[in-house]
A = this chain, B = another copy of it.
């Protein structure tokens, strides 16, 4: 069997770890791309390296991009506090990073073009992150259409496919899927303000969603809380 190359966006959280496991199970040779965007939770990047190794990725590269030059998100602007209450329904949380998925997919597109890869995987999820506009299926489809006008590969008849295999799954579904594929979730970090050892606060939106996901899935929560 020959393995086709894919770029997998890997943050070090639960969703992207499961996405990597899915891409591997589909037979792709996975090139993982992590973004150091000045996020507070740098333990995520350590987690991404561990997850890539554990799931047999071909390689992992980290691109550094200081998004805090623009400000505007509690995840990159240290003057804004990370909320410890759930956001009101329908409201976009302050932990939203402007255009983050567009930036990450654009970087993945560049690397895909250099490698000659036609497949890009992203762990975007419309169910638990309904407040994030760039996690919706119509957004993913629009990015794919744009990408297929953007690149040399597209011009030469090798279209890009954007895979978002988690887009319609609940957090509990994602956890069950990951467990079935052998993902060790103790390696992953979801907390928006994890400490240097990757221990979670247990209070932020990301921690709450994750904890509830394990409860709903009936899977023991391996998260290390501080």
Contact B99 A110 (CB under 8 A): yes
Q: Mark A95-130, 1 if CB is under 8 A from B, else 0.
A: 011111111011101110110000000000000000
Contact B152 A70 (CB under 8 A): no
Q: Which residue of B lies closest to A142 (CB)?
A: B146
Q: Mark A118-151, 1 if CB is under 8 A from B, else 0.
A: 0000000000000001101011001101110111
Stretch from A8-16, A40-48, A57-65 contacting the other chain: A57-65
Q: Which residue of B lies closest to A96 (CB)?
A: B152
A66 located at the interface, meaning its Cβ lies under 8 Å from any Cβ of chain B in the complex: yes
A165 located at the interface, meaning its Cβ lies under 8 Å from any Cβ of chain B in the complex: no
A186 to chain B, nearest CB (A): 29
Contact B69 A102 (CB under 8 A): no
Set of chain B residues within 8 Å of A159, measured between Cβ atoms:
none
A190 to chain B, nearest CB (A): 22
Set of chain B residues within 8 Å of A106, measured between Cβ atoms:
99, 102-103, 105-106
Given contacts A139-B146, A142-B146, A145-B142, contact A151 B69 (CB under 8 A): no
Out of B63, B66, B99, B150, which one reaches A151, CB within 8 Å? B99
In angstroms, Cα B133 to Cα A70, docked, is 28
A67 located at the interface, meaning its Cβ lies under 8 Å from any Cβ of chain B in the complex: yes
Contact A133 B150 (CB under 8 A): yes
Contact B151 A98 (CB under 8 A): yes
Out of B71, B111, B145, which one reaches A114, CB within 8 Å? B71
Residues A139-194 near B (CB distance < 8 A): 139, 142-143, 145-147, 149-152, 154-155
Q: What are 22 sample pairs from A and B whose C-beta atoms fall under 8 A apart?
A: A63-B66, A64-B64, A64-B65, A64-B66, A70-B110, A70-B111, A70-B114, A71-B114, A96-B152, A98-B110, A98-B152, A99-B107, A99-B150, A101-B150, A102-B106, A106-B106, A133-B150, A133-B151, A134-B149, A138-B149, A143-B146, A145-B146
Known: A97-B110, A146-B146. 17 other contacts (CB 8 A): A63-B66, A71-B114, A72-B114, A92-B152, A98-B110, A98-B114, A99-B106, A99-B107, A99-B150, A100-B110, A101-B150, A102-B109, A103-B103, A103-B107, A133-B151, A134-B149, A139-B149
